[in-house]
Amino acid sequence: MKAEQDGDLVEEDSPDENVQTNQYSSISPPASPEAQDEPFSTYFEDKVAIPEDVSQVFSFRKLWAFTGPGFLMSIAYLDPGNIESDLQSGAKAGFKLLWILLGATIIGLLLQRLAARLGVVTGMHLAEVCNRQYPAVPRVILWMMVELAIIGSDMQEVIGCAIALNLLSMGSIPLWAGVLITITDTFVFLFLDKYGLRKLEAFFGFLITVMALSFGYEYVLVKPNQGELLKGMFIPYCADCGPVQLEQAVGIVGAVIMPHNIYLHSALVKSRDIDRKNKNEVKEANKYFFIEATIALFISFLINVFVVAVFAQAFFNKTNNDMNQMCNETGSQHTDLFPQNNETLQVDIYKGGVVLGCFFGPAALYIWAIGILAAGQSSTMTGTYSGQFVMEGFLNLRWSRFARVLLTRSIAITPTLLVAIFQDVQHLTGMNDFLNVLQSMQLPFALIPILTFTSMTSIMNDFANGMVWKISGGVVILVVCAINIYFVVVYVTALNSVLLYVLAAVLSVAYLCFVVYLAWHCLVALGVSCLDFGSRVSNRPAMLIEEQSEYDS
């Protein structure tokens, strides 16, 4: 059984035709003796059994058994950072960028497919595979980069919760108090899995339902133009768009495709009881996980569309004067948020709730805040799981569960609390832009490793990426990384500081060197054999079956 949990399987000869006779994984074992102990488990103290329906090509009972990990993964597509990107897209470009949102979600689905397959086939998540494949120094650098992405995402999520609490209390709960409340209830909710894995997944399902109902209510209230919505979604063109809309389009891609979510999904799929010695079971698990992820991301896409459409219909091309006048007429206490000038309206999740309240009444504001609270709370919890999986995988931690939760929470929450204490709730847009840039920079450190390892037959065996997936995956990752680098360049050039330019140049050299290092390993895994001079990551078998068997035992 340990071999199944650790993920380093050797398939012995068997008369059973369903059992493969070659190894699924030749991932090198850790060097230290204690590293060979069975790792702690954060999320998998019990595993969901898969019903036996061998006579059916498709079974809803089996799909239900596999349902859960994809919906937890999809929450990253609904976090406050995504919601803010959605509303800004609607306010700045109307319906014109919905096709970008659709394309980014489809790309995200394809990348999540790779993550799920890695976890199902190897029995290990991406951080664990990185720990076994990369040398010590690159491994530590990679961990720090992913940790930065988690901190950036977590700050957006926790502050999103705090903003929602501030709106719901009409300003009575300050930002710092909202952060503390979010930290506390996150600790409570995280231990729901002690009462059963399915109960925890049901709780996340409830939070997604709250988001759908909240933002769906706003959608019905505003009554967007359905023709313009469909045109913006399926016609890949942006008429009369300028630098503002281009920057927003880039921001959509950066907000949707998040690096830590790749690590998270590869770990969540381990929660199902799959016999990885049985090729048919592995194949079946890959199929159902992909179907579930497709359904989950379709729902998250609809929720994102609700938000874009609301702000596209009601606030596109609106000015600060328009908002000031409307808020004055309705007696809102937030009139001072909108200076009396004809500049285009700039919104974030806080101002978004305010303008909805001014135009459509207090109910719209409170329901918006409830949706943001559900988005922030759910994504904060999945972000915490991401932090634990990443830290456990890269560092091989041997701590108690509470100690690991406390450490990962403290790393992410400390900077968030400092921001909440010294920053006003009404002036957080600049910080959100910085956090989006921070996460965009970390994308290569998830996308390159996942393509690398899922392309290696020494790890994935018959489930390794074929030539089509290798080429298309490489092109997609190249395009996504290029888009996000452009986003970073636009942000840095707008800083107008020579000192910051010099600092950015120095950091860029180190950053690009590490990306090139990972890309080199990736190209070797993709089959560019002329580059295979000393790479630890290779498609050639890394160890003998006997050595693997000894490690598993």
- The CA angle 341-347-351, to the nearest 5 degrees, is 95
For residues 305, 311, 316, 320, the Cα torsion angle rounded to the nearest 10 degrees is: -160
Tens-place pLDDT, residues 304-331: 999 999 999 999 988 888 888 888 888 8
Return the amino acid letter for 298.
Answer: F
pLDDT at 32 exceeding the cut of 60? no
DSSP codes of every residue in 9-72: ------S-TTB-SS-S--PPPPSSGGGGSPPP-SS-SS-BPPP--TT-SS-HHHHHHH-SHHHH
pLDDT at 128 exceeding the cut of 70? yes
pLDDT class of 40 with cuts at 50, 70, 90: very low
10 Å CB burial of residue 283 (0-12, 13-18, 19+) is middle
pLDDT at 354 exceeding the cut of 60? yes
Q: Which residues contact 475 (CB under 8 A, 6 or more apart)?
A: none
Tell me the C-alpha distance between 58 and 66, whole Å.
13
Superfamily for domain range 60-438: Amino acid/polyamine transporter I (1.20.1740.10)
Q: What is the pLDDT of residue 283?
A: 93
Tens-place pLDDT, residues 259-300: 899 999 999 999 999 988 899 999 999 999 999 999 999 999
pLDDT at 429 exceeding the cut of 70? no
Report the candidate in 26, 38, 104 with the shortest Cα–Cα distance to residue 525: 26
pLDDT at 33 exceeding the cut of 50? no
Q: 176 or 448: whose pLDDT is higher?
A: 448
pLDDT class of 104 with cuts at 50, 70, 90: very high
Q: Which residues contact 127 (CB under 8 A, 6 or more apart)?
A: 143, 146, 263, 267, 389, 390, 392, 393, 394
Q: 149 or 484: whose pLDDT is higher?
A: 149
Percent share of the chain, pLDDT over 70: 84
Q: Which segment of 380-389, 395-404, 495-504 scores lowest on mean pLDDT?
A: 395-404
Q: Does residue 211 contact residue 56 with C-beta atoms inside 8 Å? A: no
Tens-place pLDDT, residues 450-496: 999 999 998 998 999 999 989 988 898 888 888 877 877 887 787 77
Q: How many C-beta atoms lie closer than 10 Å to residue 158's C-beta?
A: 30
Q: Which segment of 49-53, 237-241, 317-321 scores lowest on mean pLDDT?
A: 49-53
pLDDT class of 112 with cuts at 50, 70, 90: very high
Which sequence spans correspond to the domains of the chain? 60-438
pLDDT class of 37 with cuts at 50, 70, 90: very low
Q: Is the dihedral of CA 294, 300, 306, 309 positive or negative?
A: negative
pLDDT class of 52 with cuts at 50, 70, 90: confident
Tens-place pLDDT, residues 177-190: 888 888 787 777 76
pLDDT at 546 exceeding the cut of 50? no
Q: Does residue 62 contact residue 139 with C-beta atoms inside 8 Å? A: no
pLDDT at 76 exceeding the cut of 80? yes
Q: DSSP secondary-structure letter at 345?
A: P
Q: Which segment of 164-168, 188-192, 252-256, 476-480 scores lowest on mean pLDDT?
A: 188-192
Q: What is the pLDDT of residue 2?
A: 40
Q: Which residues contact 23 (CB under 8 A, 6 or more apart)?
A: 9, 10, 11, 461, 541, 545, 548
For residues 84, 444, 68, 390, the Cα torsion angle rounded to the nearest 10 degrees is: -110
Q: 237 or 417: whose pLDDT is higher?
A: 237
Q: Which segment of 118-127, 189-198, 279-288 scores lowest on mean pLDDT?
A: 189-198
